[in-house]
Amino acid sequence: MASKEFYVFTGPEAGEKNDAVANIRAQAKKKNGEISEYRYYASDIRIADLVAQLQNGSLFEPALFITVRSAELIKGKGDVELLLNWIKSPAESSNTVILISDENSIDKKLESACAGDHKKVFWEMFENRKAQWVESFFRKNGFSVTSDAVDQILEMIENNTDALKSECSRFFYCFEKGHTVTCDDVDKILSHNREENAFTLFDTMADISKNPSQRFESSVEILEKIKAASKSGYLIALIAGLTYCFRQLRSWHSLHAEGKHPTDVQLKSAGFSGKKKQEQYERASKLWNNGATSSILALLADTDGSLRETPDLDENIMALCIYSIVIKNGLFPAKYEFNL
């Protein structure tokens, strides 16, 4: 029997969110035998085209399975109404639509259209959960890890299970099963051989020991290294990583608003799990106040859209974004300041 499935998954915990999407995909395949899968970003597709695909796709394809990321961008009244009309209309085929956002919420009408467990916020893990997750991940793969090494890993890796899984898996290629991972191993595998990424770029941009011109030059060098080691589409992931970092900086400002002095427990529960990370965000807070942080987040969202619209200029667009963050504190530079 034809039926439609509509979900809204929000929040910063990417790993569990992706696992939930994978489970729903598996259920759709089991139910329908075959599905046609499409992955979109809200900035890339017109909602009218999406709804038309849902209404007409059954004529030419098996059940559709569609994910739309950055769903917080779906907020125009006309777009929201188009989606709501599809949700409320009789099902003509067994289609699935999942709206996904790294923000904690999207348009309230779209959220209200979800029934029961079809709507979920995937929060960042609490501090005790992160340590338990790392220990369990190593144990399931035939390794053990010291508590000091766990702390060191958590200081170096983004606070979500996707990033943790990717980075921790590197140990399994370097040591035999049964090995106990120590701090020396972490230094060897994650520190000395660590590839440049959004988090090392953020750390460089926030290096207050250098003046803005030096930080910009160092940041562009890291951008070049990332480019040399990456496949196509790497800049979208880079923007996502930087967005995560500046959202964390916004949380840091919130914790310290009006002269507050958060406890270590409060800092750790917000994702600032070690002295190294706390010192990093303390430095960053001296460079970008709360207002500048909000401007930078808006700039990153705009840059994400520009990268998708004009891929031929991707490197210049990204360099301009870094220039705007480091030199202009998140403001768009005047045209004459940077020659594309």
49-61 mean pLDDT: 79
Which residue, 102, 100, 107, is CA-closest to 81? Answer: 107
Mean pLDDT for all residues in the chain:
86
* pLDDT 10s digits, 110-132: 999 987 889 999 887 766 678 88
Position 312 confidence tier, pLDDT thresholds 50, 70, 90:
low
Order the strands of the 96-100 sheet from edge to edge: 35-41, 63-69, 96-100, 5-10, 119-121
pLDDT tier, 335 (very low <50, low <70, confident <90, very high otherwise): very low
Share of the chain above pLDDT 70, in %: 89
Residues 11, 102: Cα–Cα separation, whole Å: 5
Confirm if 54 and 86 have CB atoms less than 8 A apart. Answer: yes
Is 1's pLDDT higher than 50?
Answer: no
Q: Is-contact 57 46, C-beta < 8 A? A: no
Write down the pLDDT at residue 305: 83
pTM above 0.85, yes or no: no
Q: Residue 260 has what pLDDT?
A: 85
Please provide the DSSP assignment of 127-151 as one string.
HHHHHHHHHHHHHHTT-EE-HHHHH
How far is the C-alpha of 103 from the C-alpha of 8, rounded, in Å? 11
For 6-35, what is each residue's pLDDT tens digit? 999 998 888 889 889 999 999 999 988 888
Highest mean pLDDT among 38-42, 266-270, 303-307, 314-318: 38-42
Whether the CB-CB separation of 49 and 85 falls below 8 Å is answered with: no
- Residue 107's pLDDT band (cuts 50, 70, 90): very high
pLDDT at res. 281: 93
Q: What proportion of the chain, given as a percentage, has pLDDT over 90?
A: 45
More confident residue, 148 or 288: 288
